[in-house]
Amino acid sequence: MVQQVQSTSHVSADANTPLSDELLTGEAVALDVRPANLILRAAGTIIDAIAYLLLFLLIMFLASQVVGGADAALMQAVTVAGLVISIIITPMIVETASRGRSLGKLAIGARIVRIDGGAISLRHAFIRALTGLLEIFMTLGGLAATVALLNSRSQRLGDLLAGTYSQHERVPHHQDPVHGIPGPLAEWSKTVDIARLPDALARRVAQFLRQSDRLTPATRQRLAASLAAEALPFVSPIPTAPPEPFLQAVAAVRRDREYAALLLEQERLTRLEPILTGLPHRFPNR
């Protein structure tokens, strides 16, 4: 008989825990999104600043070729216009057209989004670019870094005023663990009958095995014992094993047998394909 593990522990949550740092959908489902940290944001800002500085130098070079040094007042006006175009207008247009992207943000894998996760508009980009003149260029990033250290999403002053933050989109791919048949149950798995196991129960077992390493030990044992007790009436013969290895073996046997059945079906269809798709008596090529 599968060993039943009972636990009276319960998982509780404080109803007063603030959820201000979570992104909720309209159905009140929390999405797992990560804001870019201060180091990543600083790297992206440096890349953007270098790109905009090169743009300013290009504008000044072209202006010097056209205007020359004949009129100092005109060159001063061109310099001011070049600064406005390079550090305010261009960042605003780039972020709006690319929906929160820029050269630096592409490099670090981030995107500027609204607090609710939506794409930014021209208004958000304008506020960020105008504030960036003060906190990035005039203070060499000191004001932006100071403000970003004081909040959990590493938002600079422009983000706080515009209602945006930098969302890190380059996250590692999560690979679900693949459980095999435990060694002590290898012989049992060759003859066990699990054909009557309901699909809904099998999905719950698979979901538990995927998330078991993120559960507390007490919750893990309690859920394993509960699922094993539900699966016992549909398994024959019943092995002598703890609940979790028993569930691993049941899931592995079901997976392997379904995979073998799919391979057999594919082999039969391949063998019948000439008959199903061919024409009688090699018509019309007789």
pLDDT per 10-residue tile (average), the chain, 286 residues: 39 39 49 80 92 92 77 83 92 92 90 89 93 90 91 90 89 71 88 89 90 88 93 90 91 90 90 78 64
∠ CA(63), CA(65), CA(71), 5° rounding?
A: 65
pLDDT for residue 284: 66
Going by DSSP bridges, is the β-strand pair 23-24/110-114 parallel, antiparallel, or unpaired? unpaired
Other residues' Cβ atoms within 10 Å of the Cβ of residue 92: 20
Judge contact between 247 and 179, C-beta under 8 A. no
What is the distance of C-alpha 245 from the center of its chain? 31
Structure token digits, residue 219: 């919750």
- CA distances for 195 relative to 67, 73, 251, 255, angstroms: 85, 88, 12, 12
Judge contact between 44 and 104, C-beta under 8 A. yes
Interatomic CA distance for residues 157 and 148, integer angstroms: 8
- CA distances for 88 relative to 40, 125, 267, angstroms: 22, 9, 63
Going by DSSP bridges, is the β-strand pair 23-24/30-31 parallel, antiparallel, or unpaired? antiparallel
Other residues' Cβ atoms within 10 Å of the Cβ of residue 156: 27
Judge contact between 127 and 119, C-beta under 8 A. no
